[in-house]
Chains A and B, each alone.
Chain A
């Protein structure tokens, strides 16, 4: 027979009724403490970047890097933007900003569009080898760029695109293909195939179904894909460095040049201002998009 093991520890008094009174236990405090400490770890570098950008050099030398600026001095900021010297030119990093915009916008539009078509094609129009193609594309996400760099230079040079804006956009789009296709294909795979079949029975063709049915249903993943590609494209360094050409260097490459090629004493505030300016666009995208960003990671990585 059953032994009496019910250990009713006197944690529940005889008058207990209704919901348990909430007590802030040490365990709860510990959780928040840990999260708080982690948050500090994550935010301090960013704080330092912002604070340093608004200080003057004497202030930086004189005080701790963790201190807030005594006054919001915009000189470093403006200098980084429009007068700092990158290589031989002294026009600030704003040049890089516009270059980045010109690279990112077309690459996002093209990459998302092509990714959508590819994903749609691979998920609904099952032809022989579609799954193998897909697996190959997945594989492509992991391969280091260095494998492709030189031959791609050859290809873009042959197309007279090397060192020019269309060239770097093309390269961005090529490298975006695997992850974009992955996202869209996984998304379309969750849609009921009956919709597709019904449309075919109604006589719609490949493009018709895509434009009228799939795209309207794909709004969430389009948002995710745009955010992902915009961030990835803006933050890219290597492809821009190699393929964009001297006049079209993106902001990341300009930033590195600015900081590393400095002669004489480093102007840390200018460095940090330039860094912050480079980080601004993706950070804004990030904070505005909120949950969509995390959703992008889940969409891309979970199924991969």
Chain B
């Protein structure tokens, strides 16, 4: 296994009476794109700032490139950072913004010019070099902010919710650009966001955080399909995963889940055989994994439900039904979607479900 580029060991950050980070152990590989994902207050920005050296840890260590940088100044850590508010210097033009840190460091004029123009061409900023930040759009400003990091030619990039100030369309465009940039440069990147779509599309691995603790650290696919707990399961995916409570039972040697008025066979789902009978479990199934009508015929588990509500989301429609007394959302392509009051056959395969202990909310 390649040596980690960035490591945090037992990193904790506490502010007065509030623990923002609780003993976080993280290992980020060279060239990896790690996303820190979570709701506000989960500690993701604090973690990023601690890696950058902008926040002092209460305990624990930060290692970058094999060196302990816990007491090093941000400028000595070999990283660059991009902020949600862009933080461009308003009185300098784009060229000046890009060149400033190099000039201060005493880099030769020719070299400065070369690096600035190189970054500008990578980010399509050439026609804007003489403009002031106030004359740029949000997307352009963010590109300048990224460019400012590029010219420094560092190994580590940190992004603190860089797209949150932009509207949805710009966000999608810039997301693609950031991904392309990463593929080209292969810098180690740590990216903070609360938007799970960004996380899923950009990350090599995602660290889902809550209350200062990493809930799950895995690649996007795993985090999405096999969430480690109920929080991760409901945070990712839009609309969120459906949950139905039930109890574990055995039916002729095979594990089954008893719901209110239904029984789900768990033969094909990954399940620890040691679990006791009667254990309260919650079944989780994503709306897109529930099939309707003819598609449901081959499913392990089938039932009929009435459509109580219909939400059109454009190309897809959300149908609200119920299973064993719990409300269930089902995704369906709009042109095939049923209508309110219809009785539709629904089904899902047991290898698509996630099971969580009802009490601990952990995956079983």
Contacts and interface: CB of A to CB of B under 8 A. Distances in A.
B72 A12 contact: yes
Interface in A39-87: none
Given A18-B59, A20-B56, A11 B154 contact: no
A147 B59 CA distance: 67
17 contacts: A1-B186, A2-B186, A2-B187, A3-B153, A5-B152, A6-B64, A6-B65, A6-B156, A11-B73, A11-B76, A12-B71, A16-B68, A16-B70, A17-B57, A17-B70, A18-B59, A21-B71
B78 A5 contact: yes
Given A12-B67, A17-B61, A20-B71, 4 more contacts: A4-B78, A12-B68, A17-B57, A18-B57
A19 B71 CA distance: 7
Contacts of A11: 71-73, 76
A9 interface: yes
B144 interface: no
Interface in B127-166: 152-156
B79 interface: yes
Contacts of B77: 6, 8
Given A17-B60, A20-B56, A5 B154 contact: yes
B155 A4 contact: yes
B68 A15 contact: yes
A7 interface: yes
Nearest to B69: A12
Given A7-B76, A8-B76, A17-B60, A2 B65 contact: no
Interface string A123-161: 000000000000000000000000000000000000000
Contacts of A8: 64-65, 67, 69, 72, 76-78
B293 to A, nearest CB: 51
B155 A2 contact: yes
B185 interface: yes
- Interface centre among A7, A12, A14, by most chain B C-beta atoms within 10 angstroms, is A12
B58 interface: yes
Contacts of B154: 2, 5-6
A65 B132 CA distance: 56
Interface in B47-96: 56-61, 64-65, 67-73, 76-79
A12 B78 CA distance: 13
A301 to B, nearest CB: 22
Contacts of B156: 6
Q: How large is the interface on B (under 10, 10 to 19, 20 to 34, 35 or more residues)?
A: 20 to 34
Contacts of A26: none
B46 to A, nearest CB: 14
Contacts of A19: 56-58
Interface of A: 1-9, 11-21
A65 to B, nearest CB: 47
A2 B153 contact: yes
A18 B62 CA distance: 9
Contacts of A21: 71
Contacts of B73: 11
A1 B118 CA distance: 12
Contacts of B59: 17-18
Contacts of B71: 11-13, 16, 20-21
A1 B154 CA distance: 10
Nearest to A6: B78
B68 A13 contact: yes
In order of increasing CB-CB distance, the 5 nearest A-B pairs are A6-B78, A12-B72, A16-B70, A12-B71, A16-B71
A22 to B, nearest CB: 10
Contacts of B68: 12-16
Contacts of B186: 1-2
A18 B71 CA distance: 8
A191 to B, nearest CB: 27
B128 to A, nearest CB: 24
A7 B57 CA distance: 22
A186 to B, nearest CB: 24
A14 B79 CA distance: 19
Contacts of A3: 153
A21 B186 CA distance: 35
A7 B67 CA distance: 11
Nearest to A19: B56
A16 B72 CA distance: 9
A23 to B, nearest CB: 11
Interface in B19-71: 56-61, 64-65, 67-71
A9 B76 contact: yes
Nearest to A21: B71
Contacts of B152: 5
A21 B78 CA distance: 22
Contacts of A5: 78, 152-154
Nearest to A5: B153
Nearest to A3: B153
B147 to A, nearest CB: 14
A139 to B, nearest CB: 29
B232 to A, nearest CB: 30
A21 B70 CA distance: 11
Given A1-B185, A12-B70, A16-B70, A7 B78 contact: yes
Nearest to A18: B59
Contacts of A12: 67-72, 76
A2 B61 CA distance: 26
Interface in B157-184: none
A5 B105 CA distance: 12
